[in-house]
Structure 1
Amino acid sequence: MQRNTVLVVVSFFAIYFIWGSTYLWNKIAVTELPAFMLAGIRFLTAGSLIFIISRILGYSLKVTKQQFKNSILAGFLFLTFGNGVVVWALKYVDSGFAALEVSAQPLVVLLMMRVLQGKKIQPMSIVGVILGITGILLLVGQKQIIAQEGALFGMVLIFVCMTSWSYGSLFVGKADLPKNFFVNTGYQMLTSGLSLLVMSTLFGEQWISPIHWSTPVIWSMSLLITFGSIITFTAFNYLLRIVSPEKVATSTYVNPIVAMLLGWYFLDENITLQSAIASVVLLTGVYFINSKKSLTILSRFSGKRIPRKVKD
């Protein structure tokens, strides 16, 4: 694929700042809308739009039965369970806190590879694991945060989400999925959107018609669907074909910082000194884990077959 410098710069801006902004948009939307309904509408709409765009571009939507089943499972791990749980958790924790906790996902992937696949953890990664765990303990050990109603529950939800995403990262590395990444994303989003709406019904969430949404929620949902779910993912996959995965992986360090600053500026979320220290320690650990000398296949930045996600 021919390299376009302007397009590369724009794509990096998307994965750095738009993905980091999705935490803010989700936080705004979830203050009014039920979590699973919110995520369900987001992915159902985005998946439908992707199929329409795919047809316009002449992409075939035909997939095998096994590819369809694998897309459903991958979509469940990444979007239905993973993203849906994060949105739910945002009802209880700040958006910046959630983004920072999620940034520890490479640590969870690495440990899961060790447990499930028996992969040896390299020395650089061991340093990263130690720093990562230290950063997480500093982050969640803040009394002023734990004292908030539902905060501990929100922390647990995010950890469960990371476990789902981590297992999904390993699953898609071997699964037979649709060859066209755009079509693959469409199937995952569409099926996940439907399953999220089913979950919303089972949980007894009270659906709110779009005509009753406030202006901030309408804007947040529009941004999540167009930029968070379609544009940024396309930019992400474009970069994976043009530049090295290591460079694409640098968004791991930028997203939580963007989320924290936006949450502080727009939502008056408090950034404590301990949170700042925790972020430095945790992201340094992630850096060591993502090092070329360490074991790769990390999070959504691992090789050609990666989690087909929209950043929380």
Structure 2
Amino acid sequence: MRVSRKTVSIILAFFAIYVIWGSTYLLNKIAVTQLPPFKIAAIRFTMASIIIFIIAKVLKIDISITKNQLKNTVVAGFLFLTFGNGVVVWALKYVDSGFAALEISAQPLVVLILMRILQKKKISAMSYIGVVLGFIGIYLLVSQKQLISQDNQIIGMIMIFVCMISWGYGSLFVGKADLPKNSFVNTAYQMLSGGVMLIILSFCFGETWSLPTQWHTDVQWALFGLIVFGSTIAFTAFNYLLKEVSPEKVATNTYVNPIIALILGWYILNEQITAQSVIAAIVLLTGVYFINTKRKFKPRSIGR
């Protein structure tokens, strides 16, 4: 049986949002072993934005935006990338990549609570079950003595949770803000503004900058993967899938990414996977499933 080109494209796109996005936790973890966290995120998003702008020009996409749209992309860029992603990379200095991915998988829970508090949205019975399961999963995850005994582990987990709030608020903000209609252009401006702010933060915190030729080979490949695959290819695949398949199918990456991150962290970095972490993952992801069931709002994902 002959498989159509469209089917192959969809399969490759799902591979991108499942495996590539799931591997970004590992890549960030590798990079942060040698490079300062804000520098990593700054390079990643600034370079990715330049690549996207070049692609947009080649495809003859209009990249002009209004002053109000520019202001809103700067706000979104800060919430999603400067703070939301930059601080997660910082936290990966102290938190295992798989552990961070599991904690971040609870993001829909945070968004749901913010929607209830800020927008007075009603929560369905299914979502209530999801919230309860989500909190149980998070408790099981963070209550492991063999994990939280590590230096600055608790601070790292708290900061990741604060980043989840930033991403959650950002998701609500972009839902109503005046932004460029073309998602390609919208993302390019968010990445550029977020990257510039990360550069400023990097210098404010006194981070040391060095040439790529001075980095270890594995760090060079990690940054390359984050820029080309994690930010450019995977996001393009994400937007392609949103046009070709249902949002519910695209949202399945919420459940796959932490599993990929756990496996890669265990296999490549020898990160520990405890029985309690596995149970926490099952409970937490079941909760996320209940929260996402019959819910129209799809929050953007953090840490990629």
TM-score range (shorter-chain normalised) is over 0.9
Deviation at 1:195, TM superposition (A): 0.5
Q: Are 1:298 and 2:298 matched, yes or no?
A: yes
The total of aligned residue pairs comes to 301
Q: CA RMSD in A?
A: 1.2
Q: Are 1:89 and 2:100 matched, yes or no?
A: no
In the alignment, the residues of structure 2 paired with residue 5 and residue 177 of structure 1 have an alpha-carbon distance, to the nearest angstrom, of 31
How far does the alpha carbon of each residue in 1:229-259 deviate from its partner, in whole angstroms, 9 at most, with x for none?
A: 0000010011111111110010000000000
In the alignment, the residues of structure 1 paired with residue 149 and residue 216 of structure 2 have an alpha-carbon distance, to the nearest angstrom, of 30
Tell me the amino acid that sits aligned with residue 179 of structure 1: K
How far does the alpha carbon of each residue in 1:23-67 deviate from its partner, in whole angstroms, 9 at most, with x for none?
A: 000000010000001100111111011111111110111100111
In the alignment, the residues of structure 2 paired with residue 139 and residue 3 of structure 1 have an alpha-carbon distance, to the nearest angstrom, of 42
In the alignment, the residues of structure 2 paired with residue 186 and residue 88 of structure 1 have an alpha-carbon distance, to the nearest angstrom, of 23
Name the residue aligned to 2:235: 233
Name the residue aligned to 2:41: 39
1:230-269 superposed matches below 5 A: 230-269=232-271
- Deviation above 2 Å: which 4+ runs of structure 1? none
CA contact (8 A) 2:108 2:288 kept: yes
Structure 2 length normalisation: TM-score? 0.97
CA contact (8 A) 1:76 1:192 kept: yes
How far does the alpha carbon of each residue in 1:267-302 deviate from its partner, in whole angstroms, 9 at most, with x for none?
A: 00000010000000000000000112xx431321xx
Name the residue aligned to 1:304: none
Deviation at 1:208, TM superposition (A): 2.3
Q: Are 1:73 and 2:51 matched, yes or no?
A: no
How far does the alpha carbon of each residue in 1:213-239 deviate from its partner, in whole angstroms, 9 at most, with x for none?
A: 010000000000000000000100111
- Secondary structure at the aligned position of 2:176 is classed as coil
Deviation at 1:3, TM superposition (A): 8.6
Name the residue aligned to 1:303: none
| Aligned partner (choices 44, 49, 52) of residue 50 of structure 1 | 52
CA contact (8 A) 1:110 1:298 kept: no
Name the residue aligned to 2:224: 222
* Structure 2 residues without counterparts, runs of 5 or longer: none
Structure 1 length normalisation: TM-score? 0.95
Percent of aligned positions that are identical: 64
* Structure 1 residues without counterparts, runs of 5 or longer: 301-306
- Secondary structure at the aligned position of 2:12 is classed as helix
